[in-house]
Amino acid sequence: MSSLLTSATAIIFAAAVVALLWALIQFTIISKIPVQSGGGSGEQEGLISSGDDQAVSARLKEIYTAIYEGAESFLKAEYTVCFWFVIAFAILILVLVSWGTGWDMARGSMTAISFLLGAFTSMASGYLGMKVAVYSNVRTTVSAQKPGWTECFNTAFRAGAVMGFALCGLGIFMLYGTMLVFKLHYPQPDEWIFLTESITGYGLGGSVIAMFGRVGGGIYTKAADVGADLVGKVVHGIPEDDPRNPATIADNVGDNVGDVAGMGSDLFGSFAESTCAALVIGSSIGLSGGWDAMVFPVIVSGVGVFVCLLCSFIATNIWTVKKEADVEMALKVQLISTTIVMIPAVYFAAIFYLPASFELHSTIGNTILHLSPLKATICVAMGAVGGLTIGLITEYYTSHSYQPVREVAASCKTGAATNMIYGIALGFKSAIIPVIVLALVIYFSFATCDMYGVALAAIGFLSNLATGLTIDVYGPVCDNAGGIAEMAELHPSVREKTDALDAAGNTTAAIGKGFAIGSAALVSLALFGAFVTRIRHSSDDKLFAAGVNMLEPVTFAFLIIGGMIPFAFAALTMKSVGTAAMEMVLEVQRQFDEKPHLLDENPTERPDYDACIAISTQASLKEMVPPGAMVIFTPLLTGILFGVTAVSGLLVGALVASVQLAISMSNSGGAWDNAKKYIEKQPADSELKGKGSDIHKAAVVGDTVGDPFKDTSGPALNIVMKLMAVLSLVFADTFYAINSGTGVFKMA
């Protein structure tokens, strides 16, 4: 018996506390950078175009305050809507789960409480991420005025680390703390299946907020971005983030509420759901291996915190960024090093916390599987390596260092239409290898440890979550830093530096999206396995004992309907961005018409930034409801009306279609964005003519279409497959209670 200091509880809480303390240390380092312009710093004299440091410092603070207030007001409005929805949905969970379990109020109330905790933790994560990103972006701009690359890179990287480690620490602490409280009610190993079923509400809470955060934030940021680009760059030829453009503050606010708060909630949801799925499937491990063995999935996440922390020193202290070429390499080394170090770390954790041999009930049939720590490690390792592979394939298709994006850039020579054709084709093609990798990971992890292996592979994908989030937040911080440099009219060399940091961030963000999509697919499949396990348990093996039969008419019919859901969702979110962008375009053009001097080189009038912020806020709050409601209520109504076999088909169809669509949309958008950046780097006498040419305008059109592809619909499809699956898992007993799982219409 392991001692108290080396127990699972000790290592998990230690990881959570260390993660939170590390986030605090990183934040303290950032906070020591004053928001003060340093015009004549060593490398180049007079970096500030105005030469008046005091005036520029005041301007920096003004821009920072405007972005902060815009982000704050949007998140408060969004989270107010979310708060009342969450309260209402928690009451629905309490009633339906209690009724479905024969009025077991303990299970109903525990599921509702864990749902509320998951939702509020997800909101706290998103809000914290936004605060830190806004706080850090202006300090990254200030750091970019100083000589060299190390300081500005480290500032942005540390900003990401605050979000990455704080989210992991908070997520682990809340999830495991809730489990320990629930254990007081379910102390015996044969009762732990009810504990794990109650904790699934935590994953559902995280996912519901992620849905609204991703969709609402995505609509906000892309409405502003598309509006600013179409009127500013395409019609009037003014640079990106030019202070004369009325939509530029809304665009920068959007980076924080969409790319930071939305991404944070999304990955928090993935962490919570993958852990919940593994706990439900592996609840029988507790019978032979005890508590420490059952909570092994949470231990893996805890070990990941220590690995990510150690590897972060490579970027900031050991192999520091000294020149532009080092930036992308430093970020990639983070992903690769954490993946490599994670494998032996997980093996030692498995040897220490898992018995030499432990038993698990198979998902299909009545076989008792005999597993070992090595088998569990292999599954986690397959997930980690599979995630890295998908990430690097994503980079190949979205970075302008490689042939596919350069082909898209070259297609702009014949106009926007050929650019669109090439970009869409690239997205479809880029799905081939990731899907094959996912198929291999699923097959071999299932062959090794049954569906529990798939759940462990999903956790392997997310084992270096702190590093993945660090890199994801790094990108928007650099993007905002460049926007602030442009709006404050700093020396062009500052903007060049932040653009170089952002370009590397774009590539690694695409890698992060690859990770997120791959992990979402495995999480969704693991949740589906947990759903089947729970229905078997509720029905005493009357249903799904031999698996799900796809040839049953109800299952196959709903499989096709499930395959339609991602397309309906993508259509709703794309149209929402288009509608909001049209309003933004009209508002920006109205201001240019009414204030013609805005377009002067040194304008005497100032744009009304608040009007554009209001358009984005109102549009996103209104438009986020229909797609979110569709995803939440489709599986709920399907289970109640048509039964559990219909839900099985629905979940499989949604999973299969979402993976393909998410990869292709994200990569098409990323490729269009980087093709535009590649053209912008070319000189005017080159084949691609460079910035301001007709070729560049064709590329801007592609990038504008790609914005909702890669930042609204594509990433939100991750949540579609996860949310539908986790919601079905939470309400599994309710579905079975209605006519023995055949639904109101008795669809056998």
| Each residue's pLDDT tens digit, 695-745 | 998 999 999 899 899 889 998 998 999 999 999 999 999 999 999 999 999
CB 227 within 8 A of CB 587: yes
Four-point Cα dihedral 557, 559, 564, 567, nearest 10: 180
Alpha-carbon gap, residue 242 to 238, rounded angstroms:
7
Residue ranges in 101-149 assigned as alpha helix (H):
105-144
- The pLDDT of residue 546 is 85
Q: Take residue 530 and report the two structure tokens written for it.
A: 């947990």
Residue 181: alpha-carbon gap to chain centroid: 29
Q: Specify whether the backbone of 540 is left (phi greater than 0), alpha (psi in -120 to 50) or beta.
A: left
Alpha-carbon gap, residue 132 to 149, rounded angstroms:
21
CB 573 within 8 A of CB 213: no
Alpha-carbon gap, residue 4 to 592, rounded angstroms:
68
CB 274 within 8 A of CB 640: no
Q: Take residue 114 and report the two structure tokens written for it.
A: 């864990």
Over range 235-258, report the average pLDDT: 82
- Could you count the other beta carbons within 10 Å of the beta carbon of residue 560? 12
Let me know how long the chain is.
748
Q: Report, in angstroms and rounded to the nearest whole number, the Rg of the chain calculated over CA atoms.
A: 25
> Above 90 in pLDDT, residue 657?
yes
Q: Take residue 223 and report the two structure tokens written for it.
A: 């409405």
Show the 3-state SS of 184-249: HHCCCHHHHHHHHHHHHHHHHHHHHHHHHHHHHHHHHHHHHHHHHHHHHHHHCCCCCCCCCCCCHH
Alpha-carbon gap, residue 270 to 266, rounded angstroms:
6
| Chain position carrying tokens 């603070």 | 61
DSSP H or E run through 48: none
> Above 80 in pLDDT, residue 217?
yes
Alpha-carbon gap, residue 394 to 386, rounded angstroms:
12
**In this structure, what DSSP letter does residue 691 have?**
T
Tell me the per-residue pLDDT of 398-416, one tens digit each, with 9 for 90 and over.
988 899 999 999 999 999 9
CB 667 within 8 A of CB 398: yes
DSSP H or E run through 394: helix 373-398
Tell me the per-residue pLDDT of 98-108, one tens digit each, with 9 for 90 and over.
999 889 999 99
Q: Take residue 144 and report the two structure tokens written for it.
A: 């970019």
Give the model's confidence band at 44: pLDDT under 50 very low, under 70 low, under 90 confident, else very high.
very low
Q: Take residue 341 and report the two structure tokens written for it.
A: 């170090």
Q: Which amino acid is at 171?
A: G
371 strand-pairing partners: 358
List, in order, residues 6 or more apart from 736 with CB less than 8 Å away.
100, 535, 538, 539, 543, 644
At 260, phi and psi to the nearest 5?
A: -100, -65
Identify each DSSP E strand in 291-422 by its residue range. 358-361, 368-371
CB 325 within 8 A of CB 374: no
> Above 90 in pLDDT, residue 492?
no
The mean predicted confidence, pLDDT, of the chain is 90
- The pLDDT of residue 166 is 94
Alpha-carbon gap, residue 373 to 686, rounded angstroms:
58
Alpha-carbon gap, residue 465 to 304, rounded angstroms:
7
Q: CA-CA distances (angstroms) from residue 295 to 185, 284, 469, 665, 699?
A: 17, 11, 24, 36, 50
Alpha-carbon gap, residue 529 to 546, rounded angstroms:
13
DSSP H or E run through 541: none
Give the model's confidence band at 81: pLDDT under 50 very low, under 70 low, under 90 confident, else very high.
very high
Q: Specify whether the backbone of 643 is left (phi greater than 0), alpha (psi in -120 to 50) or beta.
A: left
Tell me the per-residue pLDDT of 674-687, one tens digit each, with 9 for 90 and over.
899 899 889 999 99
Q: Specify whether the backbone of 656 is left (phi greater than 0), alpha (psi in -120 to 50) or beta.
A: alpha
- The pLDDT of residue 41 is 38
CB 678 within 8 A of CB 410: no
Q: Take residue 254 and report the two structure tokens written for it.
A: 């959007």
List, in order, residues 6 or more apart from 727 with CB less than 8 Å away.
204, 207, 632, 635, 636
> Roughly how many angstroms between the first and final C-alpha of the chain, as a whole number?
48
- The pLDDT of residue 483 is 86
Tell me the per-residue pLDDT of 287-322, one tens digit each, with 9 for 90 and over.
888 899 999 999 999 999 999 999 999 988 888 888
Show the 3-state SS of 625-669: HHHHHHHHHHHHHHHHHHCHHHHHHHHHHHHHHHHHHHHHHHHHH
Q: Environment class of residue 33 by beta-carbon count within 10 Å: exposed (0-12), middle (13-18) or buried (19+)?
A: middle
- Give the range among 339-348, 378-387, 528-537 with minimum mean pLDDT: 528-537
Give the model's confidence band at 234: pLDDT under 50 very low, under 70 low, under 90 confident, else very high.
low
Give the model's confidence band at 38: pLDDT under 50 very low, under 70 low, under 90 confident, else very high.
low
Residue 663: alpha-carbon gap to chain centroid: 13
Give the model's confidence band at 5: pLDDT under 50 very low, under 70 low, under 90 confident, else very high.
low
